[in-house]
Chain A
């Protein structure tokens, strides 16, 4: 079974992931079954129910606006795949 709505190729593009044709076929069928399973949620009357985003929610968590120690520049750069002149190198965006 596959969901007529879910277009794996398009959603993979939105998620910025290349997939092989074999993966697209496989995911289409597997995720189709998962979506079919979650259809059961439509049985629940939620018309008068507020959504829960966090189980134990807290609001307006502030701290004093004071500078605190953070990562040294060298530590922050140490994991960058490409870097030059103390900066992270990003693949060219504009022509």
Chain B
């Protein structure tokens, strides 16, 4: 096993035993990135010099002491670029640390590297990046999922021990599934979003990518908690997310939402997920069939609410205070219109226009207000389901990783890739994806993800369940050949 193969927990043990130094870890990672990132293209930029200076000072006795962490390029780190994979933020340098970065630093971690994404986190394939597509480490002709495709691919390709991403409709869990790593979307309000470039404010949440469920718990411990700078972060006790790891599944009731096993899902995904669910049963879990009757409306609700909120959030990109500005505008209107035309890519423009339309006078009630009401019904579905079980188990994505370019001309088909992940954001609950096997296409093995969904603020239990499953398999140990 080479150094970049270590989990965060294993790396920490070696750092604390003085078998390795934080600089060794960082340099090994940089060597790995130099070797494989020309193919994977997970990173948009790296500042090795700053990271080395920080690593040299790191206190390895802290919870994440000396561990380098890759950051999705939508979270501000002082002095670093934060492009959101958009041309409109090409000249921007972050003047402050996001709260999650300040918390990672307080835990001893070293932020290192900026990871690719779909522009402004809008997409499911990372092909909407204005800079480069990221490729799936298991098959370089395929997408890594999105929007946090760089964060997922880097962890899977051993170019990072752990990374941060953001999840608005599945942008952590779906790429984790397609790349074969663990991705955790915490409960809405669990993690501060101060310093995260906002996409849809009632849905966005920051969370970790790791290779093990234990590492996901360690990361969540570092970043969770109420923050006075994010008034939507909730004042809930931050319990140790790893506290329940190692407990078995006896007495755990797992709900299987029948609407999540639909026609049209890839049969290889279905087989892997059904096998995994049987495995949970053999480990002592009790299986309960539950119903989430409004599931079929989740994608429609999401694309109204998320685009509406995005159209408001992205109004701030006006070429005045930061970012790209059009040359020689003839008046203010021309300044705005050309700045935004030149700065935004197609998908971002499409979503701003859809969001502006559904909020516009005469259409607000028919689209936005109605979507908010159906959102209430989707939330109630989960409340009812959790009355019968401790957590839900289902596929993360209906598909294996698809080919680069396969869906770029068909936005609606791309949106439907998020069908199993979106409802958790609408309901504000927590969810994670853990590797549960492989399918095969064109002679290449492609990872499948198992999704567990938990009640608000029940991340420790969710991790306990996922950990018990994970430790009974070898899926999380598989690495792509690069």
List the interface of chain A (C-beta within 8 A of B): 5-6, 8, 11-19, 23, 27, 30-31, 33-35, 37-38, 40-42, 44, 46, 49-56, 58, 61, 63, 71, 75-76, 78-82, 88, 90-93
Name B's interface SS: helix
Contact A81 B319 (CB under 8 A): yes
What are the residues of chain B within 8 A of A42 when measuring CB–CB? 370
- Check: B444 CB closer than 8 A to any chain A CB: no
What are the residues of chain B within 8 A of A90 when measuring CB–CB? 320, 332
Task: Give the distance to chain A from B10, nearest Cβ to Cβ, in Å.
Answer: 35
- Binding stretch for chain A, among B67-75, B162-170, B213-221, B334-342: B334-342
Name A's interface SS: loop
CA distance A33 to B413 in the complex (A): 10
Contact of B373 among A11, A17, A49 (CB under 8 A): A49
CA distance A37 to B369 in the complex (A): 17
Task: Give the distance to chain B from A34, nearest Cβ to Cβ, in Å.
Answer: 6
Contact B202 A79 (CB under 8 A): no
Contact count band on B: 35 or more
Total A-B residue contacts, Cβ distance less than 8 Å: 166
What are the residues of chain B within 8 A of A92 when measuring CB–CB? 331-332
Task: Give the distance to chain B from A2, nearest Cβ to Cβ, in Å.
Answer: 13
Q: Which of B366-397 contact A (CB under 8 A)?
A: 367, 369-377, 379
Contact A50 B373 (CB under 8 A): yes
Contact B353 A38 (CB under 8 A): no
Ranked 8 nearest A-B pairs via Cβ: A55-B428, A51-B372, A79-B322, A81-B325, A46-B373, A18-B341, A61-B231, A16-B336
- Check: B411 CB closer than 8 A to any chain A CB: yes
Besides A15-B311, A17-B340, 14 other A-B contacts (C-beta < 8 A): A11-B353, A18-B337, A23-B346, A31-B353, A34-B411, A37-B299, A51-B372, A52-B373, A80-B320, A80-B322, A81-B320, A90-B320, A91-B332, A92-B332
CA distance A40 to B412 in the complex (A): 14
Closest to A12 in B: B353
